[in-house]
Chains A and B, each alone.
Chain A
Amino acid sequence: MLKISNLQAKIGDKEILKGLNLEVKAGEVHAIMGPNGAGKSTLASVLAGRETYEVTGGSVEFDGKDLLELAPEERAAEGVFLAFQYPVEIPGVSTTNFLKTAVNEIRKYRGEEAMDAVQFLKMFKEKMKIVNIDQSLLNRALNEGFSGGEKKRNEIFQMAVLNPKLAILDETDSGLDIDALRIVAEGVNKLKSPDNATIVITHYQRLLDFIVPDFVHVLYKGRIVKSGTKDLALELEERGYDWIKEELGETV
């Protein structure tokens, strides 16, 4: 589904991704871990199409298409979804209005008919149950004044509504209380299918108890430097990153 080859990206003069390789197949869950500043959010942003990052080399293939050729909204319409590490406040636009616009623009892109108010109402009700989100939150301006946890939950609600092929969750667990973490993780699990895939970026093994990954990768200094199974996450939790740096020949 997703094939990232030798991806390089920079911002200004600063090189952040330095030849990153990753392959994700339909039905899989991949976890990406790595120290602060390694480039995890950068990877997520580049995949979503943020223009502030300049891709200087490599390729990204998504469902047979050159992802890097597409505008951010086209990527979304093709089925890429990014749950932001820091969701942005959109004053004056309610979550429901925002999502209605998003859904219908995506449907237009796909040549499907627009959904009407009644259909939306029904669909939103269903999806609200998945992440146990309150209607009152959805009526408010998107993310404006939302608590950290509410923002994260709202991201997963949006994911449920947009039903992406590839979901990239950037530290969705941070800021969630323990109950919310479970609810959000269960939500993600409910949305899982053999046809879609998930990339979970996290610092904590805890989330991976709920969303069990097929593969765990360590992103360090702009590259995937180590890959393994969920046991790798346990090992990182226990030992930190120093041993990996040592393996790479760095003195710690």
Chain B
Amino acid sequence: MNNTDLKTQLIADFKTAEGRMNGEAKSAVHQIRQQALERFDKLGFPTIRHEEWKYSNVKNLVNQAFEFNAVTNFSAEDLAEMPIPNLEGNILYFINGIYNAELSTIVSPDSELQIMTFAEAAKNHADLVEQYFNKYTDYQDNAFTALNTAFAQNGVFVHVPDNKVVEQPIIIRFINDARTLNVASQPRNLIVVGKRSEVQIAEAFRTIGDNASFTNAVTEFVVAEEANVHYYKVQNESDKAYHVGTTSVLQAGKSVFTANTVTANGGFVRNNLNIKIDGEYAEANMFGLYIPNGKQHVDNHTAVDHAKPNSNSNELYKGILKGKSTGVFNGKIFVREDAQKTNAFQSCKNVLLSEDASMNTKPQLEIWADDVKCSHGTTTGQLNDDALFYMQARGISKDTARALLTLAFAQDVIDKFEITSIKEYLQELITEKIYQD
């Protein structure tokens, strides 16, 4: 199958799905889907000639066939094989993109939040969805986002009304079951957080099985005035998994949004994080950690757009690269003409644990305002030889010394996780990966 084939297949799938729709085909949401499909048709999958995809080649992805939303017999027993211990809160499961009500639990009262599948929301709360859906996410230049938008169906819709502190976190586990064939899923999540409300949301991606997996995820956040949102994205997919994900955030004044993106494992990973600060005295935090090994590839593209004055953004990404892995970090900071008194800090630090690993970093600052404080710095180096020798001289083997130093390097990003179960899960994943060859 070549590039055009996967595209053709998807466009045909779209028409089939549309043919099965009743009234929904006329809804506003579906109009957006149609426009997005047209756009996807025009754009096609990106090649490395595309500026934003220069170091991330999706050729191998688009040359494979995938079954979208494949039916699976994934069971509670299968889930027991891949536990996140001590999970508490609202736990939602999507298997191959399809919501599994049986495995899921929702504990927060209706008064605190409304949570439902995207499909259900599009059907039963069309007004709410229309109000927010795709308002900020831009699919014009991104074929994957266009594709996801065209098929927007699976995923969650979360609505936190004004003045609610949601006690229990929302943890969404996306599991692609690739035990019998190549599978693909396109989760689409929309999270709307009301004024002065607080919520913690984690997305955890996993795969099971030896076939290829493709996840094309889009998550949108609409964060109202003075709201405080913690968002965690945890990726632990197989070496044969392709993951392209975009998280778009629209922040109003005095809101705080904190994103933690951790890639523990995955064959090919591209994460886009786009934050638009559209109000004064808001704060955006972006933290990330990635630890590819073997032939894995992890690409993080972040963009923070300061549209209004007096807001802060703060970014720290850390990479640990082993084997023949490759990493990309592209961090854009825009400070619009109006956005005086902006503080924007960006840092990306990488450790190459092997001579064959490589990292490509590119900070991109575009500043049109004059009274701003911006700084950025990227480093890529090896573990400190003096430190390694010091540890060995105390009886610690070289491997253990390397692991201890590497773990210490990663620790501050792990420590930023405030959902205990997820933090402990990550701590274990990262530690294990560090000790692996």
Q: Please, how many angstroms separate the alpha-carbon atoms of A98 and B404 in the complex? A: 9
Q: Please, how many angstroms separate the alpha-carbon atoms of A239 and B396 in the complex? A: 43
Whether B411 lies near A92 (C-beta < 8 A) is yes
Residues of B within 8 A of A105 (CB): 395-397, 400
Q: Judge if A89 is at the interface, Cβ distance under 8 Å.
A: yes
Whether B408 lies near A162 (C-beta < 8 A) is no
Q: Please, how many angstroms separate the alpha-carbon atoms of A99 and B384 in the complex? A: 19
Q: Judge if B368 is at the interface, Cβ distance under 8 Å.
A: no
Whether B395 lies near A102 (C-beta < 8 A) is yes
Residues of B within 8 A of A15 (CB): none
Whether A77 lies near B386 (C-beta < 8 A) is no
Q: Judge if B132 is at the interface, Cβ distance under 8 Å.
A: no
Mask, A88-111, CB within 8 Å of B = 1, is 111111000011011101100100
Whether B398 lies near A71 (C-beta < 8 A) is yes
Q: Which of A87, A91, A109, A141 contacts B395 (CB 8 A)?
A: A109
Q: Which of A73, A89, A91 has the most chain B CB atoms closer than 10 A to its own CB?
A: A73
Q: Judge if A49 is at the interface, Cβ distance under 8 Å.
A: yes
List B375-429 residues whose CB lies under 8 Å from chain A: 384-387, 389-398, 400, 404-405, 407-409, 411-412
Residues of A within 8 A of B400 (CB): 101, 105
Residues of A within 8 A of B411 (CB): 92
Give the nearest-CB partner of B397 in chain A.
Answer: A73
- The bracket for how many chain B residues form the interface is 20 to 34
Q: Please, how many angstroms separate the alpha-carbon atoms of A101 and B435 in the complex? A: 15
Whether A92 lies near B395 (C-beta < 8 A) is no
Known: A73-B397, A93-B404, A105-B400. A98 touches B392 (CB 8 A): no
Residues of A within 8 A of B384 (CB): 88
Whether B404 lies near A76 (C-beta < 8 A) is no
Residues of A within 8 A of B404 (CB): 93, 98, 101
Residues of B within 8 A of A106 (CB): 395
Residues of B within 8 A of A158 (CB): 394
Q: Please, how many angstroms separate the alpha-carbon atoms of A75 and B398 in the complex? A: 13
Whether A76 lies near B393 (C-beta < 8 A) is yes
Give the nearest-CB partner of A93 in chain B.
Answer: B408
Q: Judge if A50 is at the interface, Cβ distance under 8 Å.
A: yes
Residues of A within 8 A of B390 (CB): 84, 87-88, 90
Q: Judge if A72 is at the interface, Cβ distance under 8 Å.
A: yes
Give the nearest-CB partner of B399 in chain A.
Answer: A73
Q: Please, how many angstroms separate the alpha-carbon atoms of A92 and B391 in the complex? A: 13
Residues of B within 8 A of A109 (CB): 395
Q: Please, how many angstroms separate the alpha-carbon atoms of A101 and B386 in the complex? A: 18
Q: Judge if A82 is at the interface, Cβ distance under 8 Å.
A: yes
CB distance from A251 to the nearest CB of B (A): 38
Residues of B within 8 A of A138 (CB): none
We find that the number of chain A residues with CB closer than 8 angstroms to chain B is: 32
Q: Please, how many angstroms separate the alpha-carbon atoms of A50 and B384 in the complex? A: 14
Whether A49 lies near B408 (C-beta < 8 A) is no
Q: Judge if A48 is at the interface, Cβ distance under 8 Å.
A: yes
Known: A89-B387, A90-B387. A72 touches B409 (CB 8 A): no
Mask, B229-250, CB within 8 Å of A = 1, is 0000000000000000000000
Q: Please, how many angstroms separate the alpha-carbon atoms of A101 and B400 in the complex? A: 9
Whether B387 lies near A72 (C-beta < 8 A) is no
CB distance from A84 to the nearest CB of B (A): 7
Q: Please, how many angstroms separate the alpha-carbon atoms of A152 and B259 in the complex? A: 41
Give the nearest-CB partner of B389 in chain A.
Answer: A50
Whether A73 lies near B398 (C-beta < 8 A) is yes
Residues of A within 8 A of B412 (CB): 92
Whether A76 lies near B398 (C-beta < 8 A) is no
Residues of A within 8 A of B392 (CB): 49, 71-73, 76
Give the nearest-CB partner of B401 in chain A.
Answer: A73
CB distance from B405 to the nearest CB of A (A): 7
Give the nearest-CB partner of B408 in chain A.
Answer: A92
Residues of A within 8 A of B387 (CB): 88-90
Known: A90-B390, A92-B411. A77 touches B398 (CB 8 A): no
Whether A73 lies near B396 (C-beta < 8 A) is yes
Whether B393 lies near A48 (C-beta < 8 A) is yes
Residues of B within 8 A of A162 (CB): 394-395
List B352-392 residues whose CB lies under 8 Å from chain A: 384-387, 389-392
Q: Which of B386, B389, B409 contacts A92 (CB 8 A)?
A: B409
Residues of A within 8 A of B389 (CB): 48, 50-51, 72, 88
Residues of B within 8 A of A98 (CB): 391, 394, 396, 404
Known: A93-B405, A101-B400. A88 touches B394 (CB 8 A): no
Would you mind naming 28 contact pairs between A and B with Cβ atoms under 8 Å apart?
A48-B393, A49-B392, A49-B393, A71-B398, A72-B392, A73-B393, A73-B396, A73-B397, A76-B394, A82-B393, A84-B390, A88-B384, A90-B387, A90-B390, A90-B391, A90-B408, A92-B409, A92-B411, A98-B391, A98-B394, A98-B396, A98-B404, A99-B394, A101-B404, A102-B395, A105-B395, A105-B396, A105-B400
Interface residues of A (CB under 8 A from B): 48-52, 71-73, 75-77, 81-82, 84, 87-93, 98-99, 101-103, 105-106, 109, 141, 158, 162
Q: A71-B397, A92-B411, A162-B395 are in contact. List 5 more A-B contacts (CB 8 A).
A: A52-B385, A82-B393, A84-B393, A90-B405, A92-B405
